[in-house]
Amino acid sequence: MEYQIQQADGKLGVLIPGMGAVATTFIAGVEAIRKGFSQPVGSLTQMGNIRLGKRTENRYPLIKDFVPLTKLEDIVFGGWDVYSDNMYEAATNAKVLEPMLLAAIKPELEAIKPMEAVFDKSFVKNLDGTNVKKRATKYELAEALMEDIANFKQQHNCSRLVMVWCASTEKYIEQGDVHETIEAFEAGLKNNDERISPSMIYVYAAIKMGVPFANGAPNLTCDIPAIIELAKQNGVAIAGKDFKTGQTLMKTIVAPGLHARALGIRGWFSSNILGNRDGLVLDDPENFKTKEVSKLSVLEEILRPDINPELYGELYHKVRINYYPPHGDNKESWDNIDIFGWLGYQMQIKINFLCRDSILAAPIVLDLALFMDLAQRAGMSGIQEWLSFYFKSPQTAPGLKPEHDIFKQLIKLQNTLRHIMGEDLITHLGLDYYQDLVEAL
């Protein structure tokens, strides 16, 4: 299939439901980078290279020079939050970035004010905001969001939009019949079915408006048949779920390595403390459950105890998150890993990661916004599995197991870029040119 990629002309509006710590760190970061104060460290689209052709050709362009991405100067920001603080106030409250940096971009941040949110306290008990839309039905709320989207596009003269969910994690719900078909979902919107969460109303509105949607939290959101079908029908790209940062990032780096060397794992205990608003929301057991499900699936999929029972059949995996205000956004995680080697002899690995949650998440928001826009311009609609690299719990076609190994995810992402740009895929076999080199000696 030949891809005709539309050029990234004009402005790209990045719309964000949930303008808290992650969103403000992303927005303030892009503003600071545009002014030349800083570098987009951690962003594959901005600082990552991609190999093209044979190793002997020595072609390693930056990804942003290889694929037609929107330039940082052409991004405009908007979004919704249940609190009405502008982005300067919200970034100050989040306490991720230092006041000096925020002061240098204050006018730009103050100009961005969240629109009224679609919010339902039954999905996030620990929050009380007042910047909230009031309508009789969920369907009318979706219509109000569509109006916001259209107005934003016109006011900011955008040629394209993308939406990235950065709002709080909603309580755990399971897929039910209201999520099965577009008809059932729309009927549910009209009769206020309690199983339709706010995030589902946002993604419904986005798809109806032709806006690609990526989900940074572990809520079901776009991972239900009705929304997958709607995305296909409307030719819109969707992706999710739950940004892969911190502890899970480490897990998907370390576990594939142990697995690659056929080392056994008997136990993996993961504990976290964090003190930001995300930590407060996750302190509620119903919201923690959503996160727990997302975090637990990772090891099982990488290690495959079903096909490796001697090495991983006994694996005990536990994840804890505790709210600890003094640490703020500086999350601390501990992993205790009980492994065994030759003849079953036991060893231990301890990982203590003193990370910064939003610093790890912000470049992911940027990359997802730019890649989702690229996918849309390349005519790639439905689930964008090639972006699994960025997610803890990657959304896949129904019935397909997700790929969690970060190195395989990267190969898939890079090969997708080569594929849409008409370059040869790289298998890392290299026998053809290796033989030529040996013969030339």
Ligand X SMILES: NC(=O)c1ccc[n+]([C@@H]2O[C@H](COP(=O)([O-])OP(=O)(O)OC[C@H]3O[C@@H](n4cnc5c(N)ncnc54)[C@H](O)[C@@H]3O)[C@@H](O)[C@H]2O)c1
Rule CB under 6 A: say whether 196 interacts with ligand X.
Answer: no
H or E stretch at 233: helix 225-234
Minimum distance from residue 369 beta carbon to ligand X (Å): 14
Q: Could you give the residue ranges of the DSSP H alpha helices within 307-428?
A: 309-312, 357-377, 406-420
- Nearer to ligand X by Cβ, of 41 and 262: the residue is 41
Rule CB under 6 A: say whether 359 interacts with ligand X.
Answer: no
Which range, of 41-49, 252-260, 300-308, 357-365, touches ligand X by CB under 6 A? Answer: 357-365
Of 195, 165, 181, 196, nearest in space to 229 by CA: 181
Q: Which of residues 149-188 bind ligand X (CB under 6 A)?
A: 166-169
Which range, of 43-51, 80-88, 232-240, 296-304, touches ligand X by CB under 6 A? Answer: 80-88
Rule CB under 6 A: say whether 80 interacts with ligand X.
Answer: yes
Among 31, 223, 242, 403, which residue interacts with ligand X (rule: CB under 6 A)? 242
Rule CB under 6 A: say whether 87 interacts with ligand X.
Answer: no
What is the pattern of x (binds ligand X, CB under 6 A) and - over residues 116-145?
-xxx----x--x-x----------------
Rule CB under 6 A: say whether 83 interacts with ligand X.
Answer: yes
Measure Cα distances from 195 to 48, 62, 198 in Å.
41, 44, 10
Minimum distance from residue 17 beta carbon to ligand X (Å): 5
Rule CB under 6 A: say whether 360 interacts with ligand X.
Answer: yes
Rule CB under 6 A: say whether 409 interacts with ligand X.
Answer: no
Which range, of 20-28, 105-113, 148-156, 394-402, touches ligand X by CB under 6 A? Answer: 20-28
Among 8, 14, 15, 22, which residue interacts with ligand X (rule: CB under 6 A)? 22
> How many chain residues interact with ligand X (CB under 6 A)?
36
- Nearer to ligand X by Cβ, of 361 and 372: the residue is 361
344 by Cβ neighbours in 10 Å (0-12 / 13-18 / 19+) ranks as exposed
Q: Which residue's CB comes closest to ligand X?
A: 20
Among 142, 273, 319, 361, which residue interacts with ligand X (rule: CB under 6 A)? 361
Which DSSP string do the residues of 364-392 spell out, in sequence order? HHHHHHHHHHHHHHTT--EE-GGGGGGBS
Q: Which residue do the tokens 């899970």 mark?
A: 248
Of 345, 163, 72, 361, nearest in space to 245 by CA: 361
Which DSSP string do the residues of 89-148 spell out, in sequence order? HHHHHHT-S-HHHHHHTHHHHHT--PEEB---TTT-TT---S-B---SSHHHHHHHHHHH
Rule CB under 6 A: say whether 394 interacts with ligand X.
Answer: no
Which DSSP string do the residues of 144-164 spell out, in sequence order? HHHHHHHHHHHHTTEEEEEEE
Cβ neighbours, 10 Å, residue 411? 17
Among 21, 28, 142, 311, which residue interacts with ligand X (rule: CB under 6 A)? 21
Helix/strand/coil for 395: coil
CB-based contacts of 88-92 (< 8 A; 24+ apart in sequence): 90/19, 90/20, 90/23, 90/24, 90/114, 91/24, 91/25, 91/27, 91/28
Rule CB under 6 A: say whether 70 interacts with ligand X.
Answer: no
Minimum distance from residue 276 beta carbon to ligand X (Å): 5
Among 15, 63, 67, 82, which residue interacts with ligand X (rule: CB under 6 A)? 82
CB 97 within 8 A of CB 35: no
Among 358, 376, 381, 416, which residue interacts with ligand X (rule: CB under 6 A)? 358
* d(C-alpha 126, C-alpha 279), whole Å: 10
Rule CB under 6 A: say whether 88 interacts with ligand X.
Answer: no
147's tokens = 């109006």
Please state whether beta strands 115-116 and 316-323 pair in parallel, antiparallel, or not at all (unpaired).
unpaired
- Nearer to ligand X by Cβ, of 167 and 236: the residue is 167
405's tokens = 């190994």
**53: region left, alpha or beta (phi > 0 left; psi from -120 to 50 alpha):** left
- Nearer to ligand X by Cβ, of 167 and 231: the residue is 167
Q: Which of residues 295-314 bind ligand X (CB under 6 A)?
A: none
- Nearer to ligand X by Cβ, of 171 and 277: the residue is 277
Among 13, 18, 188, 212, which residue interacts with ligand X (rule: CB under 6 A)? 18
Measure Cα distances from 10 to 1, 69, 76, 150 in Å.
27, 12, 11, 16
Rule CB under 6 A: say whether 108 interacts with ligand X.
Answer: no
- Nearer to ligand X by Cβ, of 246 and 264: the residue is 246
What is the pattern of x (binds ligand X, CB under 6 A) and - over residues 326-345?
--------------------
* d(C-alpha 152, C-alpha 144), whole Å: 12
Rule CB under 6 A: say whether 371 interacts with ligand X.
Answer: no
Contacts to ligand X by CB under 6 A:
17-23, 80-83, 94, 117-119, 124, 127, 129, 166-169, 198, 216-217, 242-243, 245-246, 276-278, 357-358, 360-361
